Chains A and B, each alone.
Chain A
Amino acid sequence: MSPVPLHWYLAVAFLLFVLGLLVVLSRRNLIYILMGVELILNASSLVFVAFGSYRGAKGLLDGTVIGTFIVVLAAAEATIALAIVLNIFGTFHSVRPEDPNLLKE
């Protein structure tokens, strides 16, 4: 079986990244925006792993390792971000990104 060529991975990752970005830019809900961020993180993770498997032929694992780190990072990020969103909700009774505007005044 011939291996899946690299640019396919990259195309999937680009699609994921663009989808994530569109979610981040367009949704009016912090939870959804966080989900978009997760998509972007997954896109980057996919790029690392794809490059890692290509470089893995030479016995190097660094791409895979960084992909794993990104999973850990995403978990940590999700925890903190969700905690922030919870707090915002507790304060403003809203999860819309434009509502926390106390500094504006």
Chain B
Amino acid sequence: MQGLMQTDWGLFGDDHLRLMLCILLLPLMAFAVQIFFGAKLPRRGDWLPTVAMGGAFVLALSLFMTAVQHPDPTLFLHSARPPADEDGLAWNWLWSKGTPGKGNFVFAILFDNLTAVMLLVVTLVSFLVHVFSMGYMKGDPRYPRFFAYLGLFSFSMLGLVLTSNFLFLLIFWELVGLSSYLLIGFWFEKPSAANACKKAFLTTRVGDTGMLIGMMMIWWNFRTFDFVEIFEKAGQAVIANGGVPPGWMTIAAILVFMGPIGKSAQFPLHVWLPDAMEGPTPVSALIHAATMVAAGVYLVGRMFPFFMFAPDAMLVVALVGAFTALFAATIGITQFDIKKVLAYSTISQLGFMVAALGCGALGAGLMHLMTHAWFKACLFLGSGSVIHGMHHEQDMRKMGGLRRRMPITYLTMLASTLAIAGVPLFSGFYSKDAIVAATLHPAPGYESLALPHAGGLLWSLPRLLIPLAALMTAFYMFRLVIMTFHGTPRSGEAERAHESPSNMTVPLLVLGLLAVLGGSPWLFNGDFLGKHIWFNGLVHNPVFDAASGIVSFPEQVGHEGHGWAPLIISLVVAGSGILLAFLFYQWKVFRPEKVAAAIAPIYKAVYNKYWIDEFYLRFIVRPLVFHWNVFCAAFDKYVVDGVVNGVGRTARRLADGQGWFDKNIVDGLVNLAAFLTQVFGAIARIFQTGYLQHYITLLAGGATAVLVIFYWFL
């Protein structure tokens, strides 16, 4: 059966499931041990999360190899959902009576080729970042805690990738947000870092709110959070609606996409990512390559069959992605902080991926996610190495000539830069080529749904914006490399810079090698120009059959041999971008300052990141804070003070009552006792005259009375 109803595991048995659980639990265990006992372990425990991640990587690699070698294209989704009568390895958290069958909130593992790719990327990058951190974070007072947080971060991301349930995905999604918050603010003594982590957390929350509403819409209509069931029910809903998707699905898809807008730093919620540079550099590498921003793209990929039913939402996705790609690239050109350039480069590259997904090319977007993970992790770790060698100087204007002093860093960063610029033989070329091809022929699924093409000319925007962004990418990345490594040193630190220790350069070399080879196996199949995107054989686009309502993932046929046009575009933009960078910065044929002066107003706007941060501060943050303060003051005055005063008044009333009781009842009793004593005293005093003869009289009278009573009455 060639549909989503795949319940038998085929190639994958329970043992594979256990391996996947191990991948998930290894970093969690490392985190739990490290956070409590890290400081007491030898070497302050840094080896424990590192070894755990290494183990997870080995397991992920074996799973990936199984997925790659398996030729059956129908083996796309393997969900470890519990069968009707037994639980298996899934964990039944909650279930509602609304749906027949077992639980709706089941933590189960959904393993497909997409998961296999993501597992490999996350575990490998995370492992290399762990190794790199041993050198970079040496001597930090909170060294053990750093590794614990890295473990938590990896665990959250792996859980996000492995879960089969949207609700659990949301939980891991927020855990990723929490870990990034902890790590961006790792040096919380710096006010800038403390602000950056808050900004990252709150900005992504804006998107998450939309995503939550989208999830609720899906739940409201489908009563399930299981991805596979969502896709099935979406297909049935389309059939029930006469082959046309119901309108709410478009709205839900756009709302769900708000989550990735925040998490993957798409315009207009991209503002947190450049500030996140305040975290330690290995964290930046992790966030940018594997664990944070990749989550958004992965979510769109995971929900891709659902997005396919909403081509108009795909248009939004494509436009947001393409606009972000160009928009961030322009900012990247003007920045001088080496990490800021890389941050805007990441935003831009994420825009590429999102645009590819929006154009209906799942494979191209996910392939770029993978290749980008290699070269961006390498670039960030390389910049960390440079910053380390420069004694924490990040301004590229003070660098220069580092080529001779840091040869390994230079070589690896150059390889990654060639990859990100899109030079053939380097991984980035193949994925960017695929994206350009996808934007030329967007296939958002109007045809399979028998919908009229909406958007019209808007669909041609990505094919203009994406090549332009690719050109700028090549330009600013070579600007970075030339300013940092070429020419002559422009400061004392640059002259005294030194190569980093081996535990920092080895991860660089591994990632540098992957930046070359990680995208396309041209070495093995001789496909140097990327005519045949092998990745499309791994991650297939879903296809909807309007007759049966089944979503399937068949082997691609149309997308493999795309024409010469994308290839020529890619080569031209990459070549001209690199050429321009050399003209400006290496050979100094043109003066960048003069160009900047000629277009001063534009340059100023771009250099200041279009004042978006200022805009948010002025029109959103400050008014919010102001009104919130007003509200809080009123709340304080009327509610909190009201409660306090109410308690005061009640206490006073109680005290009044108690006072009355004290005064009248308690004092009354005391006074009564005194009064009675007085009365008896007064009576007793009558006889106590003090006169001897009175006493004797009484005595005699008494004795006489006794005698009389005895003799006459008894």
Q: Does chain A bind chain B?
A: yes
Question: For residue A101, which residue of chain B has the nearest CB?
Answer: B690
Interface residues of A in 22-56 (CB under 8 A from B): 24-26, 33
Neighbouring A residues of B697 by C-beta, 8 Å: 25
Q: Hey, what's the 0/1 contact readout for A81-105 against B, CB within 8 Å counting as 1? A: 0000000000000000110010110
Which of A21, A24, A26, A104 has a CB less than 8 Å from the CB of B690? Answer: A104
Q: Hey, what's the 0/1 contact readout for B671-711 against A, CB within 8 Å counting as 1? A: 00000000000000000001111001100100000000000
CA distance A38 to B287 in the complex (A): 125
**Chain B: interface size category:** under 10
Question: For residue B701, which residue of chain A has the nearest CB?
Answer: A25
B305 to chain A minimum Cβ distance, whole angstroms, is: 113
Neighbouring A residues of B692 by C-beta, 8 Å: 97-98
B700–A21 CB distance below 8 A: yes
Neighbouring B residues of A26 by C-beta, 8 Å: 693
CA distance A21 to B704 in the complex (A): 12
Neighbouring B residues of A104 by C-beta, 8 Å: 690
**Chain A: interface size category:** 10 to 19
CA distance A25 to B691 in the complex (A): 11
Which of A24, A98, A101, A103 has a CB less than 8 Å from the CB of B696? Answer: A24
CA distance A100 to B492 in the complex (A): 117
B516 to chain A minimum Cβ distance, whole angstroms, is: 121
Interface of A is mostly: helix
Neighbouring B residues of A25 by C-beta, 8 Å: 693, 696-697, 700
B693–A97 CB distance below 8 A: yes
A98–B691 CB distance below 8 A: yes
Interface residues of A in 2-35 (CB under 8 A from B): 21, 24-26, 33
Q: Hey, what's the 0/1 contact readout for B519-560 against A, CB within 8 Å counting as 1? A: 000000000000000000000000000000000000000000
Neighbouring B residues of A101 by C-beta, 8 Å: 690
Neighbouring A residues of B691 by C-beta, 8 Å: 97-98
B703 to chain A minimum Cβ distance, whole angstroms, is: 10
B278 to chain A minimum Cβ distance, whole angstroms, is: 93
Neighbouring B residues of A98 by C-beta, 8 Å: 690-692
B74 to chain A minimum Cβ distance, whole angstroms, is: 122
A66 to chain B minimum Cβ distance, whole angstroms, is: 21
A82 to chain B minimum Cβ distance, whole angstroms, is: 16
Question: For residue A104, which residue of chain B has the nearest CB?
Answer: B690
Question: For residue B697, which residue of chain A has the nearest CB?
Answer: A25
Question: For residue A98, which residue of chain B has the nearest CB?
Answer: B691
CA distance A50 to B326 in the complex (A): 149
A38 to chain B minimum Cβ distance, whole angstroms, is: 15
Question: For residue A26, which residue of chain B has the nearest CB?
Answer: B693
Neighbouring B residues of A103 by C-beta, 8 Å: 690
- From A25, A97, A101, A103, residue with most partner B Cβ within 10 Å: A25
CA distance A97 to B691 in the complex (A): 7
Question: For residue A100, which residue of chain B has the nearest CB?
Answer: B692
Neighbouring B residues of A97 by C-beta, 8 Å: 691-693
Question: For residue B691, which residue of chain A has the nearest CB?
Answer: A98
CA distance A26 to B691 in the complex (A): 12
CA distance A103 to B688 in the complex (A): 12
Question: For residue A22, which residue of chain B has the nearest CB?
Answer: B700
CA distance A73 to B532 in the complex (A): 149
CA distance A33 to B697 in the complex (A): 13
CA distance A21 to B697 in the complex (A): 9
CA distance A25 to B700 in the complex (A): 10
Question: For residue A27, which residue of chain B has the nearest CB?
Answer: B693
CA distance A21 to B698 in the complex (A): 12
CA distance A103 to B690 in the complex (A): 9
Q: List 18 A-B contacts (CB under 8 A).
A: A21-B700, A24-B693, A24-B696, A25-B693, A25-B696, A25-B697, A25-B700, A26-B693, A33-B693, A97-B691, A97-B692, A97-B693, A98-B690, A98-B691, A98-B692, A101-B690, A103-B690, A104-B690
Q: Beyond A21-B700, A24-B693, list 7 extra A-B contacts (CB 8 Å).
A: A24-B696, A25-B693, A25-B700, A98-B691, A98-B692, A103-B690, A104-B690
Show the binding face of A for B, using Cβ within 8 Å. Answer: 21, 24-26, 33, 97-98, 101, 103-104
Q: Which 9 A-B pairs have the closest CB atoms?
A: A97-B692, A104-B690, A98-B691, A25-B693, A25-B697, A101-B690, A21-B700, A24-B696, A25-B696
